[in-house]
Amino acid sequence: MSKWLDMLRHQYNYLLADRFDWWEFNRCPINACPLVCSIAEPREQPEYYGQKRSLVSLKAERDWYKDIHADVLQDMVKRVDLALTRFIKGDSNGKRSGKPRFKNKNRYRTFAYQRVKPDCIQGNRIELPKLGKIKLIQHRPIPDGFTLKRALVTQKADGWYVSLTLEDVSVPDSPVIDKKPTEANSIGVDAGLEYFVACSDGTMVKPPKFYRQAEEKLSKLQAKREARKKGSTARRKLNERIAKLHQQIARQRQQWHFELAGELVDKAEVVFVEDLKVSNLAKRNKPKQDNEGKFLPNGQSAKSGLNKSFADAGIAGFLNEILPYKAARAGRLVIKVNPAGTSQHCAICLNRVPKELSDRWHDCSCGVSMPRDLNSGILIKKVGLGVRLTIKRESGKSRRRSLHLPDREV
Ligand SMILES: [Zn+2]
């Protein structure tokens, strides 16, 4: 299977390069003809079917490619096509991805069978075409009435995994959830660092610091690895241990997220969350220079610590993917609201109570006193239910800029 991945990756990169080359040689700026421009008739643009046909000659020239199942090879061609389509045209929502990358060993870990036999799992073995019968630990039984469709084989830090796609034609598509949010059936959820979530009903959940805990272990291992010679067996083994530790952290976090999402969805029919833009979170602060061109502190080092915690807490993934997924399964609704002002206003009297990032408590002249995140949670619910906040944009922005703080509140 490792050999297959290697061969598939080489061919993937080759076909991708072929696509790029065509663009490179058949394009020219409007006002100048570059030296690399094609002078002959442009050759036919490589596309999916053409590249698929090229597999025949590939197998003739390099007969070791015959070892790979034809289905798996074709799926690799499809991946090239998909990567290019997402780059040029975008996906079904018109959202474009970045330029496809050439893949190294660490970035090419999966191959796929488009079809597998419905009875390919027999006892504790799975039969994959050309690979034969392979021992398997089955995570859960295949439910009645479903037939097996695709099989994806992935190499992970601790072994090989196969994911199966199932189909049951009698199961309807996910129904459209139509719920009217009211005061009684909804909650507002503020996500942050101090409290991972703070809900309008008063629930506050601290984030588990899996990563920070594991970090010490990780840095010890990394220091050990640096002491070993490159290419040595000891170093390779340490690399494996580090990869496994990363995997463990990711799994712990994911499980915790799913459990928490389940708890939130149980609370109310409609969950209001802030509309979080991921790209803003991870952005680096702009360099700052004084009049003589000397670089001034721009707050990046403080923010790097913040970014790390963000990566740790995985807030965006939780709000944008896991929570909506859990809600849809339970027939509940997640609605995103504009977070502007939700940390700067009082949840009870709606007056503006300016705060710095470091102010963790909300005190208002109307007598309200509670944790800042709880205040935001309640406000997010109110905004979701239609309350409008008066936001003085300019003053807020310039104040934050002068403090070199990120534009987003946490
Ligand atoms: Zn107030």
Rounded average pLDDT over 330-337: 91
pTM of model > 0.75: no
Ligand 1 centre distance from Cα of residue 347 (Å): 7
pLDDT digits (tens, 9 = 90+) for 366-376: 888 999 999 99
Ligand 1 centre distance from Cα of residue 132 (Å): 69
Closest to 347 measured CA to CA, from 315, 310, 385: 385
Contact at 8 Å (CB) between 339 and 192? Answer: no
| pLDDT score, position 17 | 95
pLDDT digits (tens, 9 = 90+) for 215-274: 788 889 999 999 999 989 999 999 999 999 988 888 888 999 999 999 999 999 999 998
| DSSP state at residue 367 | S
- Judged against a pLDDT cut of 90, whether residue 317 lies above it is answered with no
Ligand 1 centre distance from Cα of residue 369 (Å): 9
Ligand 1 centre distance from Cα of residue 57 (Å): 74
CA distances from 214 to 57, 219, 249 (A): 50, 9, 7
CA dihedral 225, 227, 229, 235 (to 10 degrees): -20
| pLDDT score, position 94 | 78
Confidence bin at 402 (pLDDT 50/70/90): very low
Highest mean predicted confidence (pLDDT) among 39-53, 122-136, 193-207: 122-136
Least confident of 30-44, 229-243, 294-308, 341-355: 294-308
Ligand 1 centre distance from Cα of residue 142 (Å): 55
Let me know if 89 is exposed, middle or buried by CB neighbors in 10 A (0-12, 13-18, 19+): exposed
Contact at 8 Å (CB) between 229 and 396? Answer: no
Ligand 1 centre distance from Cα of residue 362 (Å): 9
Ligand 1 centre distance from Cα of residue 374 (Å): 13
Better pLDDT: 342 or 72: 72
Phi-psi region of 153 (alpha: psi -120 to 50; beta: other; left: phi over 0): beta
What's the farthest any 2 CA atoms get from each other in the chain?
A: 81
| pLDDT score, position 246 | 86
Ligand 1 centre distance from Cα of residue 345 (Å): 8
Rounded average pLDDT over 129-149: 91
- Judged against a pLDDT cut of 80, whether residue 34 lies above it is answered with no
Ligand 1 centre distance from Cα of residue 191 (Å): 21
| pLDDT score, position 8 | 96
- Scan for tokens 């139509």, then name that residue: 178
